[in-house]
A = this chain, B = another copy of it.
Amino acid sequence: MSAITLDGRELGRTIEKDLMSRIDDLKAKGVSPHLAVVIVGDDPASHVYVRNKEIACNRCGIISTRIDLDSTVSEQDILKVVERLNSDESVHGILVQSPLPPSIDESLIIDTISPLKDVDGFHKMNLGNLVQGDRSGLLPCTPAGIMKMLELSDYETSGKNALVIGRSRIVGMPISILLAQKGIDSTVTVAHSRTKNLADICLQADLIIAAIGRAEFVKSEWVKPGAMVIDVGINRVPDPTRKSGFRLTGDVDPEAAKNAGWISPVPGGVGPMTIAMLMSNTVLATEFLSR
């Protein structure tokens, strides 16, 4: 038996198509959704991500503005850019691409973005909403994309044992809060680098979210037959057979597809869902700001 592969590209396009009528309604009111992306320095992976976000905006009819800043830019100057975008009424979404140079306080930058324009969903106010049990606002894109993926796959979360491997503020913590909420109702375990007997814990999980950032960390034999496996990792591993010299792989051993019931692969799984949810957040922010 082999797992059903969840096609993040196809599901992502479904979400984007569902946004079209809302975008048309906004445009009929004279409002064009507009995402501003700030990128600092020339990290190649960051530039690929930002480019993919611009392409998605294009596809959806969302205006995108890109602000390129030199890697030597001061924290003060980034804050000025964010404040200018906060007060620019033609801009509805602001995203500062991570990572920032080590001299910059990333939390300070994120928390300076207006919470109403924080389409990444990383602002304290938006994360705090989650803890209060409110899912109606701007949710972090990757966790929101995972929830949408489960929903569109008709996966019943209630009463399931969900295991989240990884405790980042971007993926692990918010997805574990979401899964435990009323109406989602999973029993949620958060595991991490200090967890003991992870293999045993994993074998009890109906739903595994792997977001620890280690290549093929979750072994095939840790996966309970029939489990739903969502692989969030994107790791570069050396591969001399490739022209680039590397290949992309997730946090889950690809052999797990033999045990799992469903699997969200890398690439082509959570990545496109994250971008679709960024589009969704930009439309939501525009609707709210133009009320």
Task: Kindly report which residue of chain B lies nearest to residue A126, judged by CB atoms.
Answer: B128
Q: Is the CB of A190 within 8 A of B180?
A: yes
Contact of A173 among B125, B180, B185 (CB under 8 A): B180
User: Would you call A219 an interface residue if the criterion is a C-beta within 8 Å of the partner chain's C-beta atoms?
Assistant: no
Q: Is the CB of B133 within 8 A of A124?
A: no
Residues of A170-189 whose CB lies within 8 A of B: 173-174, 176-177, 180-182, 185, 187-189
Residues of A84-132 whose CB lies within 8 A of B: 107, 123-132
* A13 nearest CB across to chain B (Å): 30
User: Would you call A36 an interface residue if the criterion is a C-beta within 8 Å of the partner chain's C-beta atoms?
Assistant: no
A190 to B125, alpha carbons, bound, how many Å? 23
* A247 nearest CB across to chain B (Å): 30
State the oligomeric state as a number of copies: 2
Stretch from A24-32, A191-199, A263-271 at the B interface: A191-199
User: Would you call A201 an interface residue if the criterion is a C-beta within 8 Å of the partner chain's C-beta atoms?
Assistant: yes
Q: Is the CB of A129 within 8 A of B133?
A: no
Interface size on A, residues (CB 8 A): 35
User: Would you call A238 an interface residue if the criterion is a C-beta within 8 Å of the partner chain's C-beta atoms?
Assistant: no
Q: A131-B128, A131-B174 are in contact. Are A187 and B192 (CB under 8 A)?
A: yes
* A33 nearest CB across to chain B (Å): 25
Contact of A196 among B127, B159, B181, B196 (CB under 8 A): B159
Q: Is the CB of B169 within 8 A of A133?
A: yes
Chain B residues with CB below 8 A from A129, complex form? 124, 128
User: Would you call A158 an interface residue if the criterion is a C-beta within 8 Å of the partner chain's C-beta atoms?
Assistant: yes
User: Would you call A167 an interface residue if the criterion is a C-beta within 8 Å of the partner chain's C-beta atoms?
Assistant: yes
A158 to B123, alpha carbons, bound, how many Å? 28
A169 to B130, alpha carbons, bound, how many Å? 9
Chain B residues with CB below 8 A from A128, complex form? 123-129, 131
Task: Kindly report which residue of chain B lies nearest to residue A168, judged by CB atoms.
Answer: B133
Chain B residues with CB below 8 A from A185, complex form? 192, 194
Chain A to chain B contacts (Cβ below 8 Å), 11 pairs: A124-B124, A124-B132, A125-B125, A127-B132, A131-B169, A131-B174, A132-B169, A167-B182, A173-B180, A176-B180, A188-B189
Given A173-B177, A187-B194, 12 additional A-B pairs, CB 8 A: A124-B129, A124-B131, A126-B128, A127-B132, A132-B169, A167-B180, A167-B182, A176-B176, A176-B190, A187-B192, A187-B201, A189-B189
